[in-house]
Amino acid sequence: LTSGTTGQPKPLWRREMSWRDFFDIQNDIFHINKDTKIFLQGSFSFTGVSNMVIAALWAGGTVVTTSSLRPSRWIQLIEEYNVDH
């Protein structure tokens, strides 16, 4: 669901092919591929986070995530998993 400018939730429907084509273009722009290791912190209910998780997995990359709000933990994970995005 998206709220757009009205603040009222409304469904957004996309065909699978639309997502597939979008991920390929987006991944090319951001150099996301099977060797990518991306760190993401935030709620999967936020489309920016869920989009990048799915896009990285679509390319065969690795996603590192945490529910921790401590930047020191983020740095630890980034170093431990050799995150490059």
pTM of the model: 0.77
Nearest to 36 by CA among 58, 66, 19: 58
Contacting residues for 31 by C-beta, under 8 A, at least 6 apart? 85
How is the chain split into domains, by residue range?
16-80
pLDDT digits (tens, 9 = 90+) for 48-74: 888 999 999 999 999 999 999 999 999
Element (H, E) at 82: none
State the Cα–Cα distance between residues 4 and 69, nearest whole angstrom: 27
State the Cα–Cα distance between residues 66 and 82, nearest whole angstrom: 15
Higher pLDDT, 68 or 17: 68
